[in-house]
């Protein structure tokens, strides 16, 4: 009797009248990816609510409220992108690339200057930083160019072309100046080229060139009197190697962040935290939010957050392998590299093993542009996942 | 409606799979690094960083403690505290903009009667000593200035007013030289063992008993630990520990206010630079000690202006010098009892031995005359003291000229050596001797070696002798008490703020000298006759004094000065309790200036007894 009823209740795999979940496309999405991203965003709101209570007088939840709103918008955006076939972006690559370069350039004209650099537009409700969304746009456009260019020119020509395409917007961002985001652009470019099959020998040459450029920028150029980096940038890049040398300067932030994280111990100091509560650690709601987590919630909290990022990046890499076409593989690879690079550099900076470059921790650092752009990137991953699942089934609509 | 990729078929091939695998491996390595680093910081080194974080967020502020009071022997306060308002600047809170900063400093300079340059220099100096602390620009500012600053607070960012304790002197100049003063600890003092734990800006006693008994009077500064943010600003409700300051213990002096007052008044009345001391002959407790001219100790509670400093330095009367303990004078005839002791004890004179005094003594080519060129005829010890026969003592000096006995006994009695008094700034003086002068001659410091004449002069307190009322008082006290060289002192006891006695000072005698009671009696008799017998040198002053005393005048010739007036008196005779010594520069004969002053001091000391003795007479009359 039960068996009969059970059989009747089971939904048909290829239902003629699909259920709500089926209509929403949920079975075709990567649930782990979506949930880990959402968990990180929720955690971010939670941390901001606790750590920035007294930052804005009269509005204890200023940062938490806004971060929550950005995350909600981001989740909606992610879902909408899920339902669009990402392959369409390949066709739009030139438009996307043009938009990317123009929007970054416009910052120079209309940009809102903060701390000596123009990075964002002042919109009625928030200041929009095009270079954040630009990371995703660069992935989408560059992957398209790589697929497209696979048929023309020699290997070297193609390598140089990809490099130029990637480094042009990176240079624009660098001039804002925003060294951190420029580095992310560079990492994305290299990752897309890597997944796109650029030869190992080419990478070896690029690697050698990178070493040479670094040496010129940090050592040779200042020596002959034409520094390329601004003084504070060079200092930040090198001070992590010797953070205690000058506690009142560039090394100071890093040292304070390290003390904050270390003082959290195994289980954290909660509201008795002092390093991140009493302004010893600067930029605690953005660049140094990981230090807040480390001090407040200790190794348990910080390791949980790191694990969520590991989960996120594992799912992204998995999607690289699932993709139904090469464009999807390149896009997923670029996004995975983008996430990995930002997480490693930001957390490494908090832990004192990477230079201070002003790269936000995706989904965790306060900032609408970054949160939105990251969710959109995850939306693109979901789209790749969904298209792959649909194509495996031999059907692509319901 | 849904778009889909137009490129179908498997996207993966083996080469791509390898690349993705390497990518994944790379990601794993990066995460392992992060986890390992996190583990290192939080789990392995967590304790270390926690300690660093705790150290980071607290600042300690010292709260100065009020110094202990200083009382006279009856418990009347000689020094108390009052609160004063100090103007401080927190350099970190001054405007960052150089123009605004300059304007504010200029205004502050005007308000504090200073110059911006001076303010900047003060701030720089203090900041190198204590980088985080606010800088005191001016202590003891008036209330009107404080009100003005409070009303215009927004015009003076970084300016704070703090209440501090400063010394208060209810009796003005009374006992100024004994009390001394309090001042900020110097860099050199900070390194001294006795000031360990003190910090720049702390106040310590710099002179007088404030210096000697500083460790009792100082108290213990309180400590307030507050939680601060990265800018060093206290956070709300961030007070962590608060240890209230412990006020200093109070110091009771052996000074008798009445005696002290009388002595200072007597000196001031005559108006000549000089000093006095009154001391208990048995215990060495000093009942009164003063010097003229004196100064207002209150001057030192405020920062001295350059003018004030110059005046103290340039003033030829040197008001800061305590002539009672640091004066360096020949003593004249007040030295004679010491010569007498030396001659008797060394067998160069016997009691009753008569020496003819024709008015002068010829020694080689030198002729030594009596003062006033009087001829006293045949005199023995007692009468020689009474009339102050110089020839008698010249003769004694001549008898002992190269035996060193006079020097030995004077040295034993404390002349020309430290007395052990609990006041800083005393001078040892000089007891001329054969050894000293011969040595000086050898080094070329003088044109002749020791000769008879030197000892003849020393026997009457002349020549190269340099001493002060304190050393003479100790010598007389030794004679009076039969041979105990007391340690003179003004500190009597330490009471804690609740009034409990913590410590009593009763310093051991410096040493004992054996003085034959017979000799002592003879000398005392001579001194008594000098004061109160008809022919006595100070009979005019003490002849009618109702209490029997033994006193000696002194008139010392001092090069480049008129005669120095001395008087030393022991009272009551024959078993004295106190010794009083007075000296006045250019005061003339001993009986002229010093003796009347000594009499006023004795009148104050014996005021009760004098009133009792006077009352029945008054009733009869």
Digitized pLDDT (tens) for each residue of chain A, 398 residues in all? 444 444 455 555 555 566 788 888 888 889 999 999 999 999 999 999 988 877 777 788 888 999 999 999 999 999 999 999 999 999 999 999 999 999 988 888 776 666 556 677 766 666 788 889 999 999 999 999 998 877 777 888 889 999 999 999 999 998 888 888 999 999 999 999 999 888 899 999 999 998 998 888 877 777 777 777 776 677 666 666 655 444 445 567 778 888 888 888 888 888 877 777 776 777 788 888 999 999 999 999 999 999 999 999 999 999 999 998 899 999 999 999 999 999 999 999 999 888 888 899 999 999 889 999 999 999 999 999 999 988 876 544 43
Task: Give CA separation, A123 vs A66, A129, A368, in Å.
Answer: 15, 10, 12
pLDDT of B370:
86
Cross-chain CB nearest to B7 (options A266, A317, A325):
A325
- CATH number, position B577: 3.40.710.10
- Which residues of chain B are within 8 Å of residue A144 when distances are taken between CB atoms? none
Can you tell me the distance from the alpha carbon of B320 to that of B306, in angstroms, rounded to the nearest whole number?
Answer: 16
> Does residue A386 lie in a domain region?
yes
Query: CB contact, 8 Å: B233 with chain A?
Result: no
Complex prediction ipTM: 0.89
* Residue whose entry in the numeric block shows the structure tokens 């890093």: A254
Indicate if B283 and B200 belong to the same structural domain. Answer: no
Are the beta carbons of A278 and B57 separated by less than 8 Å?
A: yes
- Which residues of chain B are within 8 Å of residue A325 when distances are taken between CB atoms? 5, 7-9, 11
Nearest chain A residue to B41, by CA: A262
pLDDT of B126:
67
* Residue whose entry in the numeric block shows the structure tokens 């003490």: B542
Query: Which stretch of A238-252, B95-109, B245-259 has the lowest confidence by average pLDDT?
Result: A238-252
Section B339-362 average pLDDT: 91
> Does residue A123 lie in a domain region?
no
Indicate which of B11, B33, B47 best probes the interface with A, i.e. most A CBs within 10 Å of its own CB.
Answer: B11
> Where residue B236 falls among pLDDT bands split at 50, 70, 90?
low
Are the beta carbons of A321 and B5 separated by less than 8 Å?
A: no
pLDDT of B37:
93
SS3 content of chain A, % helix, strand, coil (to 5): 70, 5, 30
> Does residue A40 lie in a domain region?
yes
Query: CB contact, 8 Å: B187 with chain A?
Result: no
The minimum CA-CA distance between A217 and chain B, rounded to whole Å, is 26
Closest CA to B409 of B341, B472, B511: B341
> Does residue B518 lie in a domain region?
yes
> Does residue A2 lie in a domain region?
no
With a CB-CB cutoff of 8 Å, which residues 98-157 of chain B face chain A?
A: none
Angle at A177 between CA A172 and CA A179, to 5 degrees: 90
Query: Which stretch of A301-305, B16-20, B249-253 has the lowest confidence by average pLDDT?
Result: B16-20
- Which residues of chain B are within 8 Å of residue A84 when distances are taken between CB atoms? 3
The minimum CA-CA distance between A163 and chain B, rounded to whole Å, is 19
* Whole-model pTM over 0.80: no
Cross-chain CB nearest to B35 (options A261, A306, A353):
A306
Are the beta carbons of B27 and A260 separated by less than 8 Å?
A: no
Indicate if B171 and B281 belong to the same structural domain. Answer: no
Indicate if B209 and B351 belong to the same structural domain. Answer: no
* Residue whose entry in the numeric block shows the structure tokens 């971010």: A44
Range of the structural domain that residue B102 is part of: 62-237
Cross-chain CB nearest to B30 (options A275, A326, A340):
A340
* Residue whose entry in the numeric block shows the structure tokens 């703020």: B497
Cross-chain CB nearest to B38 (options A88, A351, A397):
A351
Are the beta carbons of B38 and A259 separated by less than 8 Å?
A: no
Range of the structural domain that residue A319 is part of: 30-112+142-393
pLDDT of A6:
46
Are the beta carbons of B11 and A264 separated by less than 8 Å?
A: no
Indicate if B518 and B432 belong to the same structural domain. Answer: yes
Query: CB contact, 8 Å: B38 with chain A?
Result: yes
Section B456-485 average pLDDT: 94
Domain count, chain B: 2
- Angle at which helix A179-195 crosses helix A326-350, to 10 degrees, equals 140
Indicate if B230 and B277 belong to the same structural domain. Answer: no
Strand positions, DSSP E, chain A: 112-114, 117-122, 127-128
Indicate if B221 and B355 belong to the same structural domain. Answer: no
> Does residue B315 lie in a domain region?
no
* β-pair partners for B226: B59, B239
The minimum CA-CA distance between A138 and chain B, rounded to whole Å, is 20
Are the beta carbons of B41 and A262 separated by less than 8 Å?
A: yes
Indicate if B215 and B284 belong to the same structural domain. Answer: no
The minimum CA-CA distance between B112 and chain A, rounded to whole Å, is 34
Are the beta carbons of A262 and B50 separated by less than 8 Å?
A: yes
Highest mean pLDDT among B6-10, B222-226, B294-298: B294-298
Domain count, chain A: 1
Cross-chain CB nearest to B50 (options A258, A263, A327):
A263
Can you tell me the distance from the alpha carbon of B619 to that of A154, in angstroms, rounded to the nearest whole number?
Answer: 140
Tokens of B440: 């000086």
> Does residue B255 lie in a domain region?
no
* Residue whose entry in the numeric block shows the structure tokens 């696979």: A150
Section B525-539 average pLDDT: 91
pLDDT of B219:
86
DSSP A63-122: HHHHHHHHHHHHHHHHHHHHTS-THHHHHTHHHHHHHHHHHHHHHHHHPEEETTEEEEEE
B189 pLDDT exceeds 80? yes
Query: CB contact, 8 Å: B36 with chain A?
Result: no
Q: How many Cβ atoms are within 10 Å of A20's Cβ, its own excluded?
A: 7
Given a contact cutoff of 8 angstroms between Cβ atoms, the answer to whether B339 and B406 are in contact is yes
> Where residue B57 falls among pLDDT bands split at 50, 70, 90?
low
> Does residue A284 lie in a domain region?
yes
pLDDT of B231:
61
> Does residue B148 lie in a domain region?
yes
Given a contact cutoff of 8 angstroms between Cβ atoms, the answer to whether B255 and B286 are in contact is yes
pLDDT of A111:
67
Query: CB contact, 8 Å: A258 with chain B?
Result: yes
Indicate which of A144, A274, A297 best probes the interface with B, i.e. most B CBs within 10 Å of its own CB.
Answer: A274
Section B249-257 average pLDDT: 93
The minimum CA-CA distance between A314 and chain B, rounded to whole Å, is 8
The minimum CA-CA distance between A234 and chain B, rounded to whole Å, is 24
Nearest chain B residue to A197, by CA: B16
B471 pLDDT exceeds 90? yes
Indicate if B432 and B563 belong to the same structural domain. Answer: yes
B297 pLDDT exceeds 70? yes
Are the beta carbons of B41 and A351 separated by less than 8 Å?
A: yes
> Does residue B366 lie in a domain region?
yes
Indicate if B147 and B273 belong to the same structural domain. Answer: no
The minimum CA-CA distance between B176 and chain A, rounded to whole Å, is 50
């Amino acid at each position: 009797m039960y068996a009969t009823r059970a059989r009747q209740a089971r939904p048909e795999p290829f239902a003629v009248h699909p259920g709500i979940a089926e209509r929403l496309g949920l079975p075709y999405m990567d649930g782990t990816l979506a949930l880990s991203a959402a968990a990180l965003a929720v955690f971010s709101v939670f941390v901001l609510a606790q750590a920035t209570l007294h930052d804005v007088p009269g509005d204890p939840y200023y940062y938490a409220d806004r971060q929550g709103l950005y995350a909600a918008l981001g989740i909606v955006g992610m879902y909408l992108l899920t339902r669009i076939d990402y392959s369409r972006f390949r066709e739009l690559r030139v438009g996307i690339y043009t938009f990317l370069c123009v929007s970054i350039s416009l910052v120079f004209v209309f940009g809102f200057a903060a701390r000596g650099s123009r990075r964002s537009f002042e919109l009625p409700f928030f200041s929009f930083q095009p270079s954040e969304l630009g990371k995703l746009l660069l992935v989408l456009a560059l992957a398209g160019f790589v697929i497209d260019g696979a048929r023309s020119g020699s290997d070297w020509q193609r390598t140089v072309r990809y490099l130029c395409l990637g480094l042009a917007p990176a240079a624009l961002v660098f001039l804002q100046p925003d060294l951190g985001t420029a580095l992310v652009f560079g990492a994305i470019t290299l990752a897309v080229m890597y997944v796109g099959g650029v030869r190992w020998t080419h990478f070896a040459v690029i690697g050698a060139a990178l070493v040479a450029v670094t040496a010129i920028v940090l050592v040779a150029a200042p020596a002959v009197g034409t520094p390329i980096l601004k003084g504070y940038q060079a200092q930040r890049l090198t001070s992590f190697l010797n953070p205690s040398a000058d506690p009142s300067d560039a090394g100071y932030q890093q040292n304070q962040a390290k003390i904050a994280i270390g003082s959290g111990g195994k289980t954290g100091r909660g509201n008795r935290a002092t390093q991140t509560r009493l302004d010893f650690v600067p930029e605690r709601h953005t660049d140094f939010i990981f230090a807040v987590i480390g001090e407040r919630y200790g190794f348990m909290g910080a390791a949980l957050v790191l694990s969520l990022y590991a989960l996120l990046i594992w799912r992204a890499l998995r999607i690289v392998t699932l993709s139904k076409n090469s464009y999807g593989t390149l896009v997923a690879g670029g996004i995975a590299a983008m996430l990995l690079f930002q997480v490693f550099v930001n957390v490494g900076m908090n832990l004192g093993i990477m230079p201070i470059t002003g790269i936000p921790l995706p989904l965790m650092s306060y900032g609408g542009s970054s949160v939105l752009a990251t969710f959109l990137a995850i939306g693109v991953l979901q789209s790749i996942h969904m298209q792959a699942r649909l194509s495996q089934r031999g059907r692509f609509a319901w | 409606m849904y778009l889909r990729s137009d490129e179908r078929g498997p996207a993966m091939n083996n080469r791509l799979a390898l690349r993705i695998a390497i990518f994944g491996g790379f990601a794993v390595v990066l995460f392992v690094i992060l986890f390992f680093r996190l583990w290192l910081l939080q789990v392995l080194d967590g304790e270390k960083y926690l300690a660093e974080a705790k150290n980071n967020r607290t600042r300690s502020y010292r709260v100065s403690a009020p110094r202990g009071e200083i009382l006279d022997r009856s418990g009347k306060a000689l020094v108390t505290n009052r609160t004063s308002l100090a103007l401080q600047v927190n350099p970190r809170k001054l405007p960052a903009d150089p123009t605004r900063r300059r304007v504010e400093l200029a205004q502050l300079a005007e308000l504090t009667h200073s110059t911006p340059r001076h303010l900047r220099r003060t701030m720089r100096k203090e900041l190198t000593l204590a980088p985080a602390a606010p800088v005191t620009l001016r202590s003891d500012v008036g209330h009107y200035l404080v009100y003005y600053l409070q009303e215009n607070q927004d015009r003076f960012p970084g300016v704070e007013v703090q209440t501090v304790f400063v010394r208060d002197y209810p009796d003005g100049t009374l006992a100024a030289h004994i009390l001394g003063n309090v001042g900020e600890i110097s860099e050199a003092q900070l390194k001294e063992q006795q000031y360990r734990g003190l910090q720049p800006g702390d106040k310590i006693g710099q002179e007088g008993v404030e210096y000697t008994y500083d460790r009792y009077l100082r108290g213990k500064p309180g400590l307030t630990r507050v939680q601060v943010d990265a800018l060093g600003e206290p956070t709300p409700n961030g007070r962590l520990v608060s240890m209230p300051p412990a006020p200093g213990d109070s110091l009771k002096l052996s000074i008798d206010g009445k005696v002290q007052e009388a002595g200072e008044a007597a000196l001031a009345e005559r108006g000549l630079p000089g000093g006095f001391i009154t001391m208990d002959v048995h215990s060495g407790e000093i009942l009164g000690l003063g010097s003229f001219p004196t100064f207002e100790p209150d001057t030192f509670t405020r920062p001295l202006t350059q003018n004030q400093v110059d005046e103290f330095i340039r003033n030829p009367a040197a008001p800061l010098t305590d002539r009672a303990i640091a004066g360096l004078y020949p003593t004249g005839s007040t030295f004679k009892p010491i010569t007498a002791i030396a001659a008797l004890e060394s067998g160069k004179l016997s009691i009753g031995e008569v020496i003819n005094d024709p008015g002068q003594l010829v020694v080689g080519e030198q002729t030594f005359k009596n003062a006033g060129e009087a001829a006293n005829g045949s005199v023995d010890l007692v009468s020689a003291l009474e009339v102050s026969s110089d020839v008698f003592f010249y003769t004694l000096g001549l008898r002992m000229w190269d035996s060193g006995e006079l020097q030995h006994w004077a040295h034993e009695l404390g002349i020309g050596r430290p007395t052990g008094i609990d006041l800083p700034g005393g001078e040892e003086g000089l007891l001329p001797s054969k050894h000293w002068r011969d040595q000086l001659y050898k080094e070329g410091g003088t044109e002749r070696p020791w000769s008879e004449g030197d000892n003849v002069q020393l026997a009457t307190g002349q020549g190269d002798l340099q001493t002060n009322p304190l050393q003479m008082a100790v010598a007389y006290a030794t004679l009076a008490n039969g041979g105990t060289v007391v340690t003179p002192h003004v500190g009597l006891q330490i009471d804690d703020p609740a009034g409990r006695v913590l410590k009593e000072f009763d310093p051991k005698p410096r040493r004992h000298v054996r003085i034959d009671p017979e000799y002592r009696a003879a000398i005392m008799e001579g001194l008594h006759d000098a004061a109160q017998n008809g022919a006595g040198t100070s009979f005019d002053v003490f002849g009618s004094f109702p209490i029997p005393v033994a006193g000696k005048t002194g008139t010392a010739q001092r090069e480049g000065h008129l005669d120095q007036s001395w008087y030393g008196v022991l009272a009551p005779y024959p078993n004295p309790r106190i010794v009083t010594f007075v000296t006045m520069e250019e005061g003339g004969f001993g009986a002229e200036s010093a003796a009347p002053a000594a009499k006023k001091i004795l009148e104050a000391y014996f005021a009760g007894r004098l009133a009792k003795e006077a009352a029945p007479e008054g009733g009869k009359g």
